[in-house]
Amino acid sequence: MHNNQQQHQHLGIVDSLLMQMFGLPKGILGRLGGFILARTKHDFTQWVIDLLEIQPDEKVLEVGFGPGVGIEILATAVSTGYVAGVDYSQEMVEQARVRNEKAIETGLVQLQYGSVEKLPFANDTFDKALAINSMQVWLDAMVGLRSIWRVMKVGGKIALGFTPHSGQSSTGLTEMLTTAGFTEAHLVETDRGFCVLAIK
Ligand SMILES: C[S@@+](CC[C@H](N)C(=O)[O-])C[C@H]1O[C@@H](n2cnc3c(N)ncnc32)[C@H](O)[C@@H]1O
């Protein structure tokens, strides 16, 4: 086998392992990926959530919540509102449910298995929405963004955050949000990563 072929095959295997661990966490590797994400992404997640300026009475949606660290932070920010989450990995829904058990019991948090393309919510439901290191692995980012737009209230704010090794480029992101129907799309950057914010 030629070196290039070997390299491509190797990259294919690495990509597929990374996908099982972090992209769409599945099985033992997925569970391990969830534990790693929970330990390493807290500060970045807090930064993105701070940008959203959540108010206590707001209804907030997180798509692709992974191990549920963001959900945990959001639950401390709302008191009369609530936090809903949708993730396309059964393993992550399970981990996030364990992490947020108490808030789920009180009804403050509701987590569901599902895909961003088919969000199980009525139009104009949420004041705020976010996704962190998730959009780059959606099957169709534009369909996903339009779906989030549909379930947000007019005037609601969206935040899409990405850390440096997420695989998502910041180029063209504000244009994508505008094409999906959002306004005032702008990019904010730190040494930990970047976030695009926009308004429905
Ligand atoms: C890299 S992980 C990020 C998890 C978490 N947001 C964090 O920052 O630690 C990507 C997450 O997006 C979820 N995901 C991938 N495709 C999705 C889709 N189409 N709809 C909803 N969630 C999706 C995965 O299951 C996974 O939990």
What pLDDT score was predicted for residue 38?
72
- pLDDT digit string, tens, across residues 151-161: 999 999 999 99
Give the domains, in start order, of the chain with CATH numbers. Answer: 39-199 (3.40.50.150)
Q: Whose CA is nearest to atom 4 of ligand 1?
A: 66
- Centre of ligand 1 to C-alpha 116, Å, is 10
Q: Whose CA is nearest to atom 11 of ligand 1?
A: 64
Cβ 93 vs Cβ 71: under 8 Å? no
Name the DSSP letter for residue 106: T
Does the beta carbon of 132 sit less than 6 angstroms from any atom of ligand 1? yes
Ligand 1 nearest atom to the CA of residue 25, by list position: 25
Mutate to test the pocket of ligand 1, among 47, 111, 112, 137 (most ligand atoms within 8 A of CB): 137
- Centre of ligand 1 to C-alpha 147, Å, is 16
Q: Whose CA is nearest to atom 8 of ligand 1?
A: 132
- Centre of ligand 1 to C-alpha 3, Å, is 34
- Centre of ligand 1 to C-alpha 90, Å, is 11
CA 34/CA 29 separation, integer angstroms: 9
**What burial class does residue 42 get, using C-beta atoms within 10 Å of its C-beta: 0-12 exposed, 13-18 middle, 19+ buried?**
middle
- Centre of ligand 1 to C-alpha 1, Å, is 36
148: left (phi over 0), alpha (psi -120 to 50) or beta: alpha
What pLDDT score was predicted for residue 45?
96
Q: How far apart are the first and last CA of the chain?
A: 52
- Distance, C-alpha 162 to centroid of its chain: 9
What pLDDT score was predicted for residue 7?
45
Does the beta carbon of 44 sit less than 6 angstroms from any atom of ligand 1? no
Count of positions (residues) in the chain:
200
Q: 10-residue block means of pLDDT along the chain (200 residues)?
A: 47 75 79 76 93 97 97 96 97 96 97 97 98 95 98 98 92 97 97 96
What pLDDT score was predicted for residue 40?
74
- pLDDT digit string, tens, across residues 43-90: 999 999 999 999 999 999 999 999 999 999 999 999 999 999 999 999
